[in-house]
Structure formats: structure tokens, C-alpha cells
A and B are shown apart, each in its own frame.
Chain A
Amino acid sequence: MFELDLGRLIWIFFAACLVNNFTLSYFLGLCPFLGVSGRIETAVRMGMANIFVLTVTSICAWFLNTFVLPHAPYLRLIAFIVVIASTVQFVEMAIKKLSPALFRALGIFLPLITTNCAILGLALFQTNRAYGFVEGLIYALGAGAGLTLALALMAGIREENELVSMPEAMKGAAMSFLIAGILSMAFMGFAGLFSAAG
């Protein structure tokens, strides 16, 4: 469980963050991605909240997969979703108490983390690939970093776009997806990362 193959861990982190970015390659986590305002700070804070929930989910998923679910594999989905809902509820209460300003800034997006495909997606992918405890943790951190990166990039570009004139039909969601498509193409360039070493 705790054997550390550093090379593999580094690959898992960068693969989740860049090569197979959760938002730009797997289409997970699009709701916050679209809704993020042009404020990079809010985007980064949103990303941090996601990283926390992802990490906790990864640990819980590992526990469930190792000790509980081998006896009842068909309960996997329900177990995961209950864990995620509870974690988000807990994070919401914690943020409300520790930083009311942040709580107000995140607003509706906090409870929406429950329906963020990325969280459940992480749990499912981690299960399919049978990651160990440390691998799962690194995977969650990499995925969270990737989500935050995508959010920040999107926020920054949208901020710039406010000053640009464009056809009415393209404003709003259409432009966001166009930007996402170009970002996605750019991230495909990371496919060659490590291939020389691999």
C-alpha cells in the first residue's frame, strides 16, 4: 500500500493535471468552468475547494474499495455519492464557520460541487485503475490542480474578452466553449510529455 514508485507517481500527477486534464480532456467539471466569472481569485478559490473535496473523496473511495465494497460491489455508486454529498456538506459548514467572506463569494457553487462530475468521476476512474492509497491521493491532487488550472485560464481569458466586440450570437456560452476547444487543443500538446523518457 505504501510502496512508492516515484516515476509512476510523477506520471500520474502530470497526466491528471496536463495530459488528461479533467476538464479539457474528460469533460468533467464543466458547470463551474462555465459559470466562473472573470475573476481569477474566485476561480482559484473554487479550485482549492475542489482540490479539498477531491482529496477527501479519493481517500474515502480507497477505504470503501479496500474494505467495504468487495463484499457488495453493486453498492459502489450509492456509497460514493453518499460520501461525496456528506463531504461537500461538511466543507460547506467548515467554510461558513472559518471564512464567511469566502462562503459568500462562492455562493451557490459550493453545494454544486456535489453534482460536479469531476468528483464522482475521480472516484470511478480511481476504482477502475485500481490505484493504491498514495497513487489515489496523487491522482486527486493532480486532477484538482488541473481543474484549478483550467478554471484560472478560463477566468483570465474571459476577463480579457469582456473588452472585445463579437457577434451577439457568440456571446456567453458559445464563446466559452470556443475558448475551451482551443484550450483543449493546446493541452493536447502535452501528449508528448515524458514520451522520450517513457
Chain B
Amino acid sequence: MSAPEAGPLRMMGTLGLAGMCSGLAIVGIFLVTAPRIERNRAEALEAAIFRVLEGARSRVAYVLRGADLVPFESPDNGLPKEEAVYAGYDESGALLGFAIPAEGAGFQDTIKLIYGFDASARRVVGMEVLESRETPGLGDKIIKDADFVGNFRNLAVDPTVEVVKAGRTSDNEVDAISGATISSQAVVKIINASNERWMDRVTALTKAGGGGGGPE
């Protein structure tokens, strides 16, 4: 019932046609779903920003242009596709801090998180894991364990954040989850690396008045 043996021209023709139709179908579905996918991503990120900066009611995105952080202009107040940090303002327009997305290697796979950073107090004020594939029941406690996440509500960053196993004795320490040391260490490593990248610029922005108190 299938076609008989065919010459090389026929074979290439079939493959070429199949490839073209396939390409069209893929481009088509991409164009159709892209706006929705972008909206999902923006909504999820925005919700996370407001969760790690408690009390924040509005946000402004900042992107890197050269060596400086500049506000991201967007007609519909959308989120930038490139790397960005987000300044959060409360109802009165006062700058609460910056929500900084970061990612790095975890135990199983990459961990993506976002944390709130108060540059004037030089403290982390909140942390949320956005994506992780750590071991269920153990490593995935970095998402679920309230005590672990609570470490990040008021965490000093000087000189660096450190992981301890027996309990916090100082403000810049994080108590690791027992049985998930590597995942806990990964989270701290990600935050330290991210601080090294952004802290100076973010502090400078805060000193300069935080970009003018929020969007109009």
C-alpha cells in the first residue's frame, strides 16, 4: 500500500517538501503562541517581584546599557526580554529595593530564583525560587521549606552570605536544609555571584534617588 521505489529526485523532493511544510507549521505555531507565552512569563515574574519585595505596589525595570543601569522604556509597561533588575516602590512611591533575578547550577539542574535587595540597608529582604529540578522531598525544600525561605527575609550580605549547618549565629548566615546541603549552598552561591554583579550599580541607583519614585 506504500509508494514503490523512487528515484533520487523524488526522494529529495519529498524531503524538501516535508521540511518546508514542517518549517511553516512551526513558524506558524510560534507566531500564534508567542504573545500568550510572553504574557504568562511577564505575569509570573511580576507576581514574584511583588512577593520578594514586601509592600511593593509598582515596579520599574532597569536594563544594562553599556556599564550603567537605565530604566526600560516600554509602551505597555511590559517586561524586557533581556536581563534586567526591577525596582519596587510602595504606595507612596518610595523605593523599597530591587528585585534581582539570578540563576546558577544546582544539584540536579539549573536553579532560577529572584531575590529582593534593599541597597540602603545592604540586606536581602526576600527570596523565591522560580524554577528548579532538585531532588523531590529533599532538594525541592528550597522552594517549600518555610524556615529556609525565612532565612532570606532579613539577610545581611557583608562580606558575603554564608551557609551554616547548625543554626544562624550572625545576620549574614543561612541555615542549610538538612539532607539538602548542596541545593542550599547552590542558592547562596547564586545570590553571592549575583550580588557581585549588581550590588554596586544598584547601590549607586538607590543613592541617586532610585530613579524618581516610580512610574507616572
Contact = CB atoms under 8 A, between A and B. Distances in A.
Chain A in direct contact with chain B (Cβ < 8 angstroms): yes
Given A195-B181, A195-B182, A198-B182, A78 B108 contact: no
Contacts, number: 25
Interface residues of B, number: 15
Contacts of A198: 181-182, 185
Contacts of A20: 108
A191 to B, nearest CB: 8
Q: Is the interface of A mostly helix, strand, loop or mixed?
A: helix
B204 interface: no
Contact of B26 (A75, A128, A129, A191): A75
Given A20-B108, A129-B109, A129-B110, A78 B26 contact: yes
Interface size class, chain A: 10 to 19
Contacts of B182: 191, 195, 198
Contacts of A125: 109
A2 interface: no
Contacts of B109: 125, 128-129
A156 to B, nearest CB: 28
Q: Which 9 A-B pairs have the closest CB atoms?
A: A74-B30, A74-B26, A129-B110, A195-B182, A198-B182, A195-B181, A198-B185, A20-B108, A75-B26
Interface of A: 20, 74-75, 78, 125, 128-130, 191, 195, 198
